[in-house]
Amino acid sequence: MTSYMTGSEAFSRENATSAASGPAPQAAWADKYRGATVEDLDPPPALSVSPNDPVSSALMTAYERDYTHLTVISSTSRSLLGYLSIPRLKELIHNGTVKETDTVASAMQRFNRKRGIYQVITMDTPLEELEQFFESQTGANGDKREKQQFAVVTDVTRKFVLGVATKADLEEFVKRRPT
């Protein structure tokens, strides 16, 4: 037997269903960022060091500019080799694993180029995509990975490092953005 409901019952049921399911995460991010891109974060220019630079020099450079991550580029080809996390570097020095007289190469995190797929983050990347990059535990190729704390911002062809965007930059943007 078919049952019919009144218009008000149908309306109530529809509202209860949509309220229970909540907005999709992508829609929530879109509401949060309202079309903003990485460029709106106004990331400072990238500060790069060479793998042959002493750790003490890299630390001083990071302290002077209050940076938490430095990119490491080849001194000959200017290609991006990896990064230096200042909090991790402090740990390594404290533990005695690395000395301030050692080279950056001994403490840097190298990018794994063998995995192949690299998610390009440019100035035109929407902030909801950047947040997904930070929060996802799956890489661009589907492999498991740790959550990311920063992203290297490059041009579309990945020839130039333009800046570094951190998860903290994204959180600060949301705080200072009017609702």
Residue 150 parent element (H or E) = strand 150-154
Contact 105, 82 (CB under 8 A): no
* Residue 116 CB-density burial (10 A; 0-12 exposed, 13-18 middle, 19+ buried): exposed
Q: What is the value of pTM for the model shown?
A: 0.67
Name the average pLDDT for the chain. 80
Residue 78 parent element (H or E) = none
What's the confidence (pLDDT) of residue 95? Answer: 94
Residue 168 parent element (H or E) = helix 167-176
Residue 100 parent element (H or E) = none
- Higher per-residue pLDDT: 112 or 71: 71
Contact 168, 158 (CB under 8 A): no
- Higher per-residue pLDDT: 79 or 27: 79
Residue 166 parent element (H or E) = strand 161-166
CATH numbers and ranges of domains, the chain: 33-176 (3.10.580.10)
Spell out the residues 6+ positions from residue 89 whose beta carbon is closer than 8 angstroms to its own. 55, 58, 59, 98, 107
Q: Which residues pair with 76 in a beta bridge?
A: none
What's the confidence (pLDDT) of residue 140? Answer: 64
Q: What percent of the chain has pLDDT above 90? A: 32
Rounded Cα–Cα distance for residues 130 and 115 (Å):
20
Question: What tens digit of pLDDT does each residue of 78-107 get?
Answer: 788 888 999 999 999 999 999 999 999 999
Rounded Cα–Cα distance for residues 145 and 132 (Å):
13
Closest CA to 48 of 122, 119, 153: 153
β-strands 69-73, 48-49 pairing: parallel
Rounded Cα–Cα distance for residues 65 and 61 (Å):
7
- Higher per-residue pLDDT: 17 or 126: 126
